[in-house]
């Protein structure tokens, strides 16, 4: 989905709020939110792709104003309700107030019909596709051409894995783009490497 989470290359943001060696956690509830979602993944209640997608499904106003671990706990609660483990009413009653959840999911999809095996150095194009469900191809490479510089082992295909759709595992390719090709005339010069699932790619 072309959601608010897909931030790469969006303009208008201010300086990074950088502090040297910043800590990952600031309060105990953040540690606990993290542990609870890891617990649910380890118990097999949901997988990482479902977890990521439930974060992406948060309404944009909510997504942008929530802290990182607030997004995490929202995804966790959403999936526990969707999987029938808990009810939303129970969560609100126990929390003593509103407990906003993410919006429902669109359908997923299985692997692309035609998938090609690429070699290092091959020129590839990210397919010009618009996917309603979960997808891990950032919009900033859509339709753009780059060069394969690495190949991973096969992973579960996220567009399927986030939606309980059957699919083959497939490799991802590290594809190298030039920032000047991604944002012509409007980017600092750099090489941008993106891990792209095989189904999202075609030979250029």
Which 16-35 residues touch other proteins, going by CB under 8 A? 16-27, 29-35
DSSP character for 170? Answer: B
Q: Which is nearer to other proteins, 15 or 107 (CB)?
A: 15
CA 101 to chain centroid:
17
Q: At closest approach, how far in Å is the CB of 127 from other proteins?
A: 15
Among positions 130-149, residues that touch other proteins (CB under 8 A) are 136-138, 140
Cα–Cα distance list, 51 to 21, 30, 57, 199 (Å): 27, 16, 10, 21
Q: Which of 54, 58, 77, 148 binds other proteins (CB under 8 A)?
A: 77
Cα of 23 vs its chain's centroid, Å = 23
> What single-letter DSSP state applies at residue 186?
S
- The verdict on 97 binding other proteins (CB under 8 A) reads yes
Q: How far is CA 45 from CA 155, 158, 164, in A?
A: 19, 17, 12
Q: Which residues pair with 201 in a beta bridge?
A: 126
Indicate whether 164 belongs to the interface with other proteins (CB under 8 A).
no
The number of C-alpha atoms within 13 Å of 94 and in the hemisphere containing its C-beta is 7
Q: Exactly one of 2, 60, 64, 120 binds other proteins (CB under 8 A); which one?
A: 64
| CA distances in angstroms from 136 to 25, 91, 161, 172, 195, listed in the order given | 26, 30, 11, 11, 9
Task: Determine if 103 is a binding residue for other proteins (CB under 8 A).
Answer: no
Q: How far is the CB of 155 from other proteins (least distance, A)?
A: 4
How many chain residues interact with other proteins (CB under 8 A)? 86
Among 85, 120, 164, 204, binds other proteins (CB under 8 A): 85
Q: Give the CA angle between residues 179, 11, 146 to the nearest 5°.
A: 20
Q: Which of 120, 164, 190, 204 binds other proteins (CB under 8 A)?
A: 190
Contact between 82 and other proteins by CB under 8 A: the answer reads no
Residue closer to other proteins, measured from CB, 10 or 123: 10
Q: Which of 127, 167, 193, 202 binds other proteins (CB under 8 A)?
A: 193
Is residue 182 a contact residue for other proteins (CB under 8 A)?
A: yes
């Amino acid at each position: 989905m072309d959601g608010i989470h897909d931030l790469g290359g969006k303009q208008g943001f201010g300086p990074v709020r950088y502090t040297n060696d910043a800590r990952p956690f600031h309060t105990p509830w953040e540690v606990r939110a993290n542990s609870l979602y890891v617990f649910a993944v380890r118990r097999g209640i949901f997988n990482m792709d479902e977890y990521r997608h439930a974060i992406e499904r948060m309404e944009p106003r909510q997504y942008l104003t929530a802290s990182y671990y607030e997004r995490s706990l929202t995804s966790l609660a959403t999936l526990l309700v969707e999987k029938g483990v808990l009810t939303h009413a129970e969560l609100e009653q126990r929390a003593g107030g509103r407990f906003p959840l993410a919006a429902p999911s669109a359908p997923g999809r299985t692997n692309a019909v035609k998938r090609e095996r690429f070699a290092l150095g091959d020129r590839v194009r990210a397919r010009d596709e618009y996917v309603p469900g979960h997808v891990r191809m950032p919009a900033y490479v859509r339709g753009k051409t780059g060069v394969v510089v690495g190949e991973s082992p096969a992973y579960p295909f996220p567009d399927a894995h986030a939606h309980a759709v059957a699919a083959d595992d497939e490799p991802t390719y590290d594809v190298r783009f030039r920032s000047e090709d991604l944002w012509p005339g409007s980017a600092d010069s750099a090489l941008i490497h993106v891990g792209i699932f095989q189904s999202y790619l075609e030979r250029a």
